[in-house]
Structure formats: structure tokens, C-alpha cells
Amino acid sequence: MSPLQLEKEVGDATAKVGQGNAFKQKWIAREGDGLVKAVNSIKDVTQLDLQEIESTGDLKSGEKLLADLRKRKLVVQRKGQWFTVQKGANFTTSTAKPETDLTADMLTSGAWKTSTFKKYNFEAEGIPPAGGALHPLLKVREEIRNIFLEMGFAEMPTSTYVESAFWCFDALFVPQQHPARDLQDTFYISDPVKSLPPEPAYYKRVATVHEHGDYGSAGYRAPWSHEESSKLLLRTHTTASSAHMLYKLAARYRGEAVEGDEKEFTHGAKSTTAHGESSSNDGFRPAKLFSIDRVFRNETMDATHLAEFHQVEGVVADKGLTLADLIGFMRVFFKKMGIENVRFKPAYNPYTEPSLEIFAFHPMLSKWVEVGNSGMFRPEMLEPMGFPKDVRVHGWGLSLERPTMIRYGINNIRTLLGHKVSIEGIENSAAVMF
Amino acid sequence: MPTVAVDKVDLWERLGQEFSSEEFDALCFEYGLELDEDTTAEVEEAKKKGLPAQRPQLKIEIPANRYDLLCIEGISRALQVFLRKTETPRYKLVYPPRTKKIRPLFACAILRNVKFTPRSYASFIDLQDKLHQNICRRRQLVAIGTHDLDTLKGPFRYEARAPKDVKFVPLNKHEEYTGEELMALYESDKQLSRYLPIIRDSSVYPIIYDAEDRVLSMPPIINSDHSKITLNTTNVFIDVTATDQTKLDIVANIVTTMFSEYCAEPFTIEPVKMILPDGSTKISPDLSERRMLAHASYVNACTGLSLNSDQVSVLLSRMSLFPTTSKSNPDEIEVSIPATRPDIFHECDIMEDAAIAYGFNNLPHTFPPTTTVGQPSAINKLSDSIRLEWALAGWVEVLPLTLCSHEENFAFLNHVDDNETAVKIANPKTLEFQVVRTTLIPGLLKTIRENRSHPLPLKIFETGDVVFKDTTRERQARNERHAAAVWCNRTAGFEIVHGVFDRAMKMLEIPRISNADSKAETGYYMKETSGVYILLGGYSLSLISSQDPMFFPGRAATIYYRAPPSKRKASTFQHLKQDAKAALHINDDIVLGTLGILHPSVLEKFDIQYPCSAVEFTLDPFKKEMQKIWTNDE
């Protein structure tokens, strides 16, 4: 018989295994193209083993051979369970079940005194309550808001997603040719077309300090474009709203009478003054303001960037504030957020001088990571608003998403903000306590 | 922020000291730089594997206003001074006897007897590129050209010519091209095509010629092949063209001062006399130092330190400035600012330099004594109560995006854009961000679509801002705080969203009144939307029309609110038009929002297979009056 014939007779797989084994046992030999018998009778051990397994469910020869047979897919191992039942101490022929729970009926009838109760499985989970849930990002927002409120900050109105380039950039002394103002980075508005002009005298002071310099500054000495200034855009930072609030704060210095003015900031109490000096009564009232709201960047979206996110911003305005005050204050603020170890790096920001990036030591990553930005607003921004030289304003900002992602161990921002967020994830997000 | 890669060994040599990665990182941090990457380990790794390896580099992030730190020459000079290893160099103009004739918004200079090495040559090219990408705004505002002076003959002319009259062999080509042909040639060039729009449509192109009518360059696109610089160039002619004088000066000064260190006599630059169109002359580049006054008292008042003017001077000299304490006034310091520091505008910039040299992290930790009263904003306080009550009622808060596609905000809801409502975005990168939403419904429906695997019913809500056009305001738009909820289940459940809305009203103590009750002082009521004749000047107008096709016919209601008499201020809320009012016998009630079963065609567009009911209403009328500063008055 030729190997080819054999293959046809018993099939490809069987022929392969059988032929190999038969050669190994020297049952057959090769003669020319064909296979011939080498012994007269054979003892098929495998067959005998299989018969033994079938009848006893085991093999005396041992685990090694069994493993071999399993490998050849001749046997499979199945687990079975057997129980042996015997009468126990509580054996009864009555069919009454033990009680699972205490009921109002049992209390009325007194049956609870005689009933037997089923053993409770304390390993089992309780029934999840069918409650609602707040969004994790907003839970962190609440926690940060509370820090501000505890420290005496008032929340600024920030309901102006649409801003003019004037308030978003020019008023902050951001040069008109600054890269942040590029189409690549900022969403501009096509409808409505442009903003109404701001108060003309203030507008002129801002344009002058940019184009020609003023208040002891050389200015950018670059051409000023009114068209650029009146463009509408989606705010790139809430500092646009802060600038508007500071402008309002300086109203008295500009000689404007503000209705209900005496009640602002202090709820009608007399203004407090810096460093315990007596009030010179020039109308200045210190202010501590904050906001946490949405900002927009024309970003290409990826795991760490979205076109919209939340900015946390704080502002302190008072006479005689110092850089040491800012640094000391930042340490307290971040400590309240659970960040103990911070240090400060000089940085560049068009509207603050000095500008400081805040780095915190991340114990898990075991390196310093940037957690926020801060600085003292430039005189070129404050003095056109009308503030006198000795009023200084601290500002700082951080994103709300970053601490939230760290808090919840989230790597992809799209699973935190937007419609792709899992509702189940929201339902299961833990409480936040800094 | 720009990142500059510097050769590590070269930098250590220049600083006369080797640093460990940690030490150098700390030095950068203190100075306001950021060490992004040290490629040493990478290079070692490659060497071990026998792969071709570059020299180890340090990648350093530079503040965007420090153009003088965009190359290894500038970084090492600044750090050497900071570490008190050397004095800040003073740049000198050395005059040769010759003149050149050129036009305005042009600057040029000559670096004589330069010796380039392959690395300093690469650094020279790289600095130009860094300047082009940053302050030059991708060559829009300023463009730099460099030439081998020995291939040219002065005087040079800077002219404007019609594109067809411009003809020369551009860099690395062998044939002549006209201005028009160059535009076509570089259309497909990845690098240069970006710069073509800067001059393409102009009737004339800027061009620089030498005395023998040979072209030097056609800024801001390309130099000529003839005058190109090479490693062997010894005399470099630098041309700078610009649309703005300040940036022109900054760029000319940075390029020349940084590379003047390679001249036979370091830090010398040969100036060029320019003849302007009006016949006047000017020396270029202008490297004169600016003088500013600083005061120790100002530095102290801003930083919280108590230094005298001598101590401040020492700090300033470490920051590459030239301070001199005044003899007449012990508080005054006269500061000369070198041409390499155009980032200094105001005394506050000098104050910052003093603070950096002192070390931000060495400043005392004080706490501002400012005492104020804290308070949340009225609108956030209000929407927080709704959020909490709805979550307690078993609903889940979601947070979709504010920006959406035009379709999602209009066509998907069976609404037509009247062009009076939504703010539109001019330059979105994707279609997802075409408009600022005027309703919360699309975001909620998208959230439902993405949460198919969540067991039914889905009950979600959001309180957030929508934006409407408002031509009466400076910013031409106004935010409005809305609250909305959507229920999604096997049955539509109108009464369920109705219930969650009623709950909100109950928590705000707004009584339910009958829609026929014209006598009730205050409260809310509902009317079937379909068939109601409404002529509104519109509060949330986009949601309201004679029949709202967003909802299933006969299963849609409009919610009205009658404010208490004390709060009915004509200026605050929009009212029904007088004639409509007369016709319908309704009083000053405002439309609060809408409620109903969503139309199956809406569900289909949002790819939702189960019925949904939705409610959306404005929260603004319920805002509490607070201290004036905290209102939303603009």
C-alpha cells in the first residue's frame, strides 16, 4: 500500500498520526513506494489504555500518559460532582421554609418570636439604589468653588462666551500680532460680524498704549488695527471677563458715579484697607474675584485637548500687593487643593509681569508637573482702566479638567467632557474631597 | 513657546562647566527656561546598538518674548552672565568707508571675517528659521535673507517690480524664472508654498539688486542662487525686510548680534548706510542701547523685598542689563538695555528681571491682607439648586459640548435657521463646531445615542448656557442659562418629563396655575403648542413657532411664566407683542420653555431607536437679586 493510498483510505489526519506511530513501533516498514507489515501481530497499547479509561475513568499507568492522550485529543477531562446525602440534626418532614425577612405581619401576629430565619449571606452585595448623580467634573468644580468662597472670593459673572477681540486681547495688552490671535488658535465669529465700540475714551487709551506706549511703557510700537479690535470671537480665556470686572472696579477713579456703588464688594460695610493703613478715601475698594467657566480654543482634538474646556481663575486687587504675597497665597490655595509641594518658574505672558508658572511635585509620576499660571497684571493693562499706580492685581488660572483627570485617573479628556461620556461612569464617580 | 535644540558638549564648553541633567534643569527653571529633553541617554543607546548617532542635544523651551535666546549663542551668553562667569558683551558698529543705497522698511548689516564651523553654520540657519516662525509670523511681518558679500557688488537697491519683470535663478536651481513662474514653481513646495500668499496677488514684488543688477533675493520667498552663503563664506551680507519698523529692528538686531561672535573681532558688526526714498539717510542696524530709570523702592514695593539700589543693580547685571546707580538719588538706577532685549517695555519688566535673579523661590512667603466677603454668582447658585434637586430626583447629570454642527442645532430638530438666533463660527477645523448651541437638546440626544449599552430607561439632564445673537449688546450676543432633561425608554413618558419639570418649579416655589386663569398673581402653566397662534418678540424664540415640528403632533406644550408683580420689569423680559396680546387676551406672561414627546424623525436623525420626551426651559427669570457686582449686568 502506498502512503497516498493510505491517505485516501483513512483520511489525511489519521494517516499522518497512524503512519508515524506505526513506524515508531516498527509495525511497518518502507519497501519501494509502498508500506509493508513488519510484524505479524501487534499490541495496540493506546487502544488498551483507552478501554481502561472508558471503564474506570482513570489510567493506572499515570498522569504522563494521560497528558499524552489529551494532547492527541483522544480523551478529554471533565469534572463531575457527586453528593452523598444523610439525615442531619434539623431533619424534618414538614415543608415550612425559614423566613428571609422580618415583616409587618410578623410584628402584628407575634410570629417573629417562633419563626426561624434564614442565615444571611454577609458576603453578598446590597441592592444598588436607583438614584441620580452629578457629573464628576462639576463635583470637582464645586470643591474648588468652595475653596474660593471659604477664602472670601466673590464669583464673577462670566456669561459671555462671545467676546470682542478688544476685551479678550487688546484690553489685556496682548499685542495684535500675537500668535494666540491666529485663526489656527481662536474661533472667530462670522455672524454677528463685529462688536459695537467700547467706551471711546478707554478704547483710545488702550490703542495708544499699544501703538505708541504710555504710562511709562514703550508699548509695542506696531500698527494698531481697529478692525482687528472689533472682531468677535469665542473667548479663549475667562481673563476677558476678569478684565471687564476690573474695568468696573476702576470706575470711580475715572470719575464715574456708579449706582449702588457703596454696596459692591463689601455688602455696605466700610471698605477695608490694605496693611491696616487708614483709608485715603480715594474710592478704591479691594476685591477678590473668581470664576470657573468654559473657554474655547480652535484645537485639533486628541486625548488631552478639546475645543472647549473649563478655566479656573482667581483675581486679587488691592493697594500694595507684592509678588511675595502672590507666592504665599498660591501656596495656601494649592494646599487647600491637596497640593503641598509647589515651586515657581519665571514665564512669559503678555498681560502679567512678573509671570510665574506653578509646578507641583507629582508623587506618582515622581516629577514636577505644571499645575497653573499666575502673575501680576501689567501696568499697561491696569492704568488705562484708571487704576492708580499703587493698585496691583494678582491673577492666576488653571484648567478644571486637569485636576479632575488626575483625581479620577482619566487619560482621555473625551471620556470626561462631551457627549461620549459614559452615563454609567457618571453614576459611579466617587465623591470629591480635597 | 519655541523649543531650541542645542549641542550639549558645545554648551558645556561655552559655559565652562559641565552640569548633570538635574543641575541644568534646576538652572533653567530658575532662569525661566524649561529643559524639555536631554537626548544623551538616547544617543548612548543608539551607540551601543551600533546605530548612527547624533551628538547629544538639550532641547530647551524658550519664553515667546525672548528672541535673544533662540540659538545656542544667545542661551550660553545669557546663562554665563546669570552665573556671573562673564560680563554682558557690548555690541559695536565698526564703520568701513562705503555706502549703500536702499529703501525703507529695510535693514541690513555685514558680518566681516566670519569663520563658520558646520555646527555654527547650522545654528545660523536655524536661528533665521526660528525667528521666521515666531516674531516674523511665518515671514508675514519680517523676512531675513543672507548672502555671500564677496559674490556681490554694492551699492544695493531695494525695489518693487511687476512680477513678469523679475527674473533670476533662485536658490539651488539652475534656470532663470520670472516672478510669475516662481509662484507656479513653489506652489507644490511644502515649505515655500506657505509664504506665497504674502505677495502673490500684489501688482509688484519686492526685489533686491546689487550694483550690477544681479538679484540678491525676492523677499519673503527666496534668495538667489548666485549670492547664496556656504560654509566657506567669510563676509555675510544680511538683508531684512518688513511691514513694521519695530519688528524689523528687533530681527535685524538679533540676527547680527547673535552671530557677531564669530567675526574676527567678536561682537562687531559692520553697519550699512541706507538712503531712504525721501533722500534722508539712516545707519542700519540700529544697535543703540535704550535708557530706562528703575527705582529700588518700586522693585521692593512689587516684590516684597527690601533691597537698596546697589543690590538691585547686582541682580540686574546678572540678567544681561547694564545698571548704574544714580549719584544724586539713592533710589534711582539708570538701566541701559541692550538691543538684544526688546522684551523690556516698562519698569515692571526690569523689576521682574531683578526678581528672577533674586529667585522667585527665595522670596518670603507672605499672605495678602486683603479682606473681602465671598459670594457665589446668582445664576450659578440658582442652577446648582436645580442640579441638586434633579439629581436627588434620580436623574443623571451629563455635560455635552457647547459647540455643535449647524444641522444638529437646526435641521436635526426640524427647525429652520432664521439667521437671527444662532452665533456662527467662521473658522472651525471640523464640522462638529459650526454654531454655538441655542438649545441643550442636541447635546442630550447625542449623549443618549452614545450610551446605547446603558439599561433603559435613560434619564439625563443638563443645566448650561446657550447663546443667542443680541444686537443691542457690545458683544452682539448673550448667554442664557437653560435647564433641560430627556427621558428615553420603551414608552415616550410625556408625564415623566412633565413631572421632573413640576418638581423644579415646586423647589423654586413657583405655583402651578390654570392656563385660563388670568387673575392669578404669579405662577406657571402649560398650553398645547400645536395650533397656538404666537407672535413673539421671543424669549428663546428659536424653540417656538406656530407648531413646533421638533415634537410629536398633539404631544407638545409651551410653558408660560407669570412673574410676581414686583418682578415684572419691562426691560428685563421680552413680552408678547401688543396686537397678539389683544387678540389672545393674555397678559405679560413670558414663554419659559417647551415640553413634549420628540418627533420620530428627530429620533431617527440622532440615531435613537427608543421614544424620548424632553423638557427645556430658561432659568434666568428665577435669578435672585444679589449685590450689584454679582449681577449679570454687562
DSSP string computed for A134-184: --HHHHHHHHHHHHHHHTTPEEPP---SEEEHHHHTGGGT--TT-GGGSTT
Q: Is the same domain home to B411 and B557?
A: yes
Of B335, B361, B387, which marks where a domain is finished?
A: B361
Between strands A162-164 and A189-191, the pairing is unpaired
Which among A289-298, B252-261, B537-546, B563-572 has the top mean pLDDT? A289-298
| pLDDT > 90? residue B567 | no
Residue B87 in domain: no
B210-250 residue pLDDT tens: 888 899 999 889 999 999 999 989 999 999 998 888 999 99
Q: How far apart are CA B353 and CA B30, in angstroms?
A: 11
Helices B296-303 and B347-358 pack at an angle, to 10 degrees, of 70
Between A61-65, B183-187, B222-226, B481-485, the lowest mean confidence (pLDDT) is in A61-65
Q: How distant is the Cα of B305 from the closest Cα of chain A, in angstroms? A: 8
Out of A154, A190, A325, name the one closest to residue B372 (CB): A154
How confident is the model over A230-245, as pLDDT tens digits?
A: 999 999 999 999 999 9
Q: How far is A311 from chain B (nearest CA, A)?
A: 15
Give the pLDDT score at B103: 41
State yes or no: pLDDT of B579 exceeds 70: no
CB distance A234 to B602 below 8 Å? no
Mean pLDDT of the region B43-51: 86
Averaged pLDDT for residues B128-134:
90
Question: Which of left, alpha, beta for B627 (phi over 0: left; psi -120 to 50: alpha)?
Answer: beta
**How near does any CA of chain A get to the CA of B122, in Å?**
26
Chain A residues whose beta carbon lies within 8 Å of the beta carbon of residue B343:
348
How far from chain centre, in Å, is Cα A14? Answer: 59
Residues of B in contact with A329 (CB under 8 A): 367-368
Distance CA B331, CA B324 (A): 11
Q: pLDDT, tens digit, for every residue of A116-163?
A: 888 888 998 998 888 899 999 999 999 999 999 999 999 999 999 999
Torsion sign (Cα): B34, B37, B39, B41: positive
- CB atoms A324 and B347 under 8 Å: no
Mean pLDDT (whole number) for B90-106: 59
The per-residue pLDDT for A109 is 93
Q: Does the pLDDT at position B585 exceed 50?
A: no
Cβ distance B372 to A356 less than 8 Å, yes or no, reads: no
Do A134 and B388 make contact, defined as CB atoms within 8 angstroms? yes
Question: Poorest-confidence range of A278-292, B139-153, B424-438?
Answer: A278-292
Residues of B in contact with A220 (CB under 8 A): 246, 345
pLDDT the model gives residue B530: 58
Domain extent at residue B352:
291-361
**Are residues B100 and B67 located together in one domain of the fold?**
no
Supply the pLDDT for residue B464: 96
In the three-class reduction of DSSP (H, G, I as helix; E, B as strand; rest coil), residue A44 is classed as coil
Contact A132 B425 (CB under 8 A): no
The answer, yes or no, to whether residue A167 has pLDDT greater than 70, is yes
CA B269 from centroid of its chain's CA atoms: 36
| pLDDT at B96 (0 to 100) | 58
Q: How many residues does chain A have?
A: 434
Strand segments (E) across B364-522: 396-397, 403-404, 424-425, 435-436, 458-469, 477-488
**Cβ-Cβ contacts under 8 Å, B480 against chain A:** 159
Pairing of strands B403-404, B435-436: antiparallel
Kindly identify which residue of chain A lies nearest to residue B31, measuring between CA atoms. Answer: A346
- Facing B376 at nearest CB: one of A149, A217, A327: A149
Residue B128 has pLDDT above 70, yes or no: yes
Q: How many CB atoms lie within 10 A of CB B275?
A: 16
Say if CB B630 and CB A264 are below 8 A apart: no
In a domain? residue B369:
no
Question: B446 and B522 in one domain?
Answer: yes
Cβ separation A426–B397 shorter than 8 A: yes
Per the domain annotation, does B198 fall within a domain?
yes
Superfamily of domain A136-270+280-427: Bira Bifunctional Protein; Domain 2 (3.30.930.10)
Task: Identify the residue among A162, A329, A376 best suited for mutation to test binding to B, counting B beta carbons within 10 A and taking the highest.
Answer: A162
Nearest CA-CA distance, residue B20 and chain A, Å? 16
Query: CA–CA distance from B281 to each of B99, B144, B227, B237, B278 (Å)?
Result: 10, 21, 26, 19, 9
For residues B74 and B97, membership in a common domain is answered with no
pLDDT (average), residues B49-61 = 88
Q: What pLDDT does B49 receive?
A: 85
More confident residue, A312 or B277: A312
Q: List the alpha helices (DSSP H) in A11-133.
A: 12-24, 45-56, 63-71, 104-109
The reply to whether B372 falls in a domain is: no
Residue B309 pLDDT level (bands cut at 50, 70, 90): very high
Residues B520 and B551 grouped into a single domain: yes
Nearest beta carbon to residue A286 from set B370, B393, B471: B370
Average pLDDT rounded to a whole number, residues B43-53: 85
Residue of B nearest to A240 (CA): B475
Do residue B348 and residue B444 come from a single domain?
no
- Distance between B30 CA and the closest CA of chain A, angstroms: 6
Give the span between the Cα atoms of A425 and A362, in whole angstroms: 25
**Complex ipTM more than 0.90, yes or no:** no
B283, B188, B172: which is closest to B225 by C-alpha? B172
Residues B621 and B606 in one domain: yes
pLDDT score of A304 more than 50: yes
Question: Structurally, how many domains does chain B consist of?
Answer: 4
| Burial class of residue B444 in the structure, from the number of CB atoms within 10 Å of its CB (0-12 exposed, 13-18 middle, 19+ buried) | buried
Whether residues B365 and A324 touch (CB distance < 8 A) is answered with yes
Residue A172 near residue A381 (C-beta atoms within 8 A): yes
Claim to verify: residue B277 and residue B342 sit in the same structural domain? no
DSSP 8-class letter at B327: S
Region label for A263, one of left (φ > 0), alpha (ψ between -120 and 50) or beta (otherwise): alpha
Taking CB atoms and an 8 Å cutoff, what residues of chain B touch A422?
451, 454
**A421 with B465: Cβ contact below 8 A:** no
Nearest chain A residue to B65, by CA:
A348
What is residue A147's predicted lDDT score, i.e. its pLDDT?
Answer: 95
Residue of A nearest to B32 (CA): A346
pLDDT value at B570 more than 50: no
**pLDDT range class, residue B546, cuts 50, 70, 90:** low
| CA count, 13 A, side-chain hemisphere, B617 | 28
Boundary residue ending a domain (B55, B82, B109): B82
Which residue has 499490541 as its cell numbers? A43
For CA atoms A241, A242, A245, A247, give the dihedral sign: negative
Q: What is the 3-state secondary structure (H, E, C) of B414-427?
A: CCCCCCCCCCEECC
Q: What are phi and psi of B35, to 5 degrees?
A: -80, 110
pLDDT the model gives residue B101: 44
Determine phi and psi for B621, rounding to 5 degrees. Answer: -65, -15
- Pick from A162, A218, A298: CB nearest B477: A162
Q: Is residue A38 within 8 Å of residue A26, measured between CB atoms?
A: yes
CATH number for the domain that contains residue B11: 3.30.56.10
User: Is the CB of residue A162 less than 8 Å from the CB of residue B436?
Assistant: yes
Shortest CA distance from B478: residue in chain A: A160
Cβ within 8 Å, pair A419-B400 = yes
Q: For residue B202, what pLDDT is reported?
A: 84
CA pair distance A319, A285, nearest whole angstrom: 9
Q: What is the pLDDT of residues B172-189, one digit of tens each?
A: 899 999 988 999 999 988
The rounded distance, in Å, linking the Cα atoms of B158 and B307 is 52
Examine the domain organization and report whether B175 and B110 are in the same domain.
yes
Contact A232 B65 (CB under 8 A): no
Distance CA B57, CA B41 (A): 10
A155, A187, A300: residue with CB nearest B425: A187
Section A296-323 average pLDDT: 91
User: Is residue B373 situated within a structural domain?
Assistant: no
pLDDT for position B629: 56
Tell me: do B350 and B220 sit in the same domain. Answer: no
pLDDT at A267: 53
In tens, the pLDDT along A8-26 reads 777 777 777 777 777 887 8
Q: Which of B50, B82, B114 is the last residue of a domain?
A: B82
Could you tell me which chain A residue has the CA closest to the CA of B133? A179
Reading the block at residue B412, the C-alpha cell is 436635526
Residues B426, A190: C-beta atoms closer than 8 Å: yes
Residue of A nearest to B372 (CA): A152
DSSP B34: E
Domain with B115 in it: what CATH number? 3.50.40.10
Q: What is the mean pLDDT of residues B429-442?
A: 94
Compute the count of residue pairs across chains A and B with CB atoms less than 8 Å apart. Answer: 339
Angle at B397 between CA B394 and CA B398, to 5 degrees: 145
CB contacts of B368 in chain A (<8 Å) are 316, 318, 321, 325-326, 328-329, 394
pLDDT exceeds 90 at position A260 = no
**Residue B543 has which C-alpha cell?**
424653540
Q: Sorting pLDDT into bands at 50, 70 and 90, what band is A269?
A: low
Same domain assignment for residues B345 and B469: no
**DSSP strand E in A323-384: where?**
342-349, 352-362, 367-377
Binned at pLDDT 50, 70 and 90, residue B450 comes out as: very high
Q: Give pLDDT tens digits for A354-371.
A: 999 999 988 777 888 899
Q: What are phi and psi of B180, to 5 degrees?
A: -65, -45
Q: How many CA atoms lie within 13 A of A44 on its CB side?
A: 8
Q: What is the pLDDT of residue A143?
A: 94
Decide which of A405 and B1 is more confident: A405
Cα-to-chain-centroid distance, residue B104: 31
From the number of C-beta atoms within 10 Å of its C-beta (0-12, 13-18, 19+), residue B182 rates as: buried
Average pLDDT over chain B, rounded to whole?
A: 87
CA dihedral B542, B548, B551, B555 (to 10 degrees): 130
pLDDT of residue B454: 92
Domain map of chain A by residue range? 3-71, 136-270+280-427
Question: Which of A145, A161, A196 should be substituted to probe chain B, the one whose Cβ sees the most B Cβ atoms within 10 Å?
Answer: A161
For the stretch B365-419, pLDDT in tens is 899 988 888 889 989 999 999 999 999 999 999 999 999 999 999 999 999 898 8
> Is residue A150 exposed (0-12), middle (13-18) or buried (19+ Cβ within 10 Å)?
exposed
When scoring B300, B401, B448 by the number of chain A Cβ atoms within 10 A, the one with the most, hence best to mutate, is B401
Q: Provide, as residue numbers in chain A, all residues whose Cβ is less than 8 Å from the Cβ of B244.
A: 177, 222-223
| Nearest chain A residue (CA) to B472 | A196
Query: Min CA distance, B592 vs chain A (Å)?
Result: 19
Q: How confident is the model over B472-478, as a mean pLDDT?
A: 93
Chain A CB contacts of B376 below 8 Å: 145, 149, 155
CB-based contact A322 B367, cutoff 8 Å? no
Contact residues on chain A for B473, CB-CB shorter than 8 A:
196
Same domain, B114 and B55: no
- Three-class SS state of B263: strand
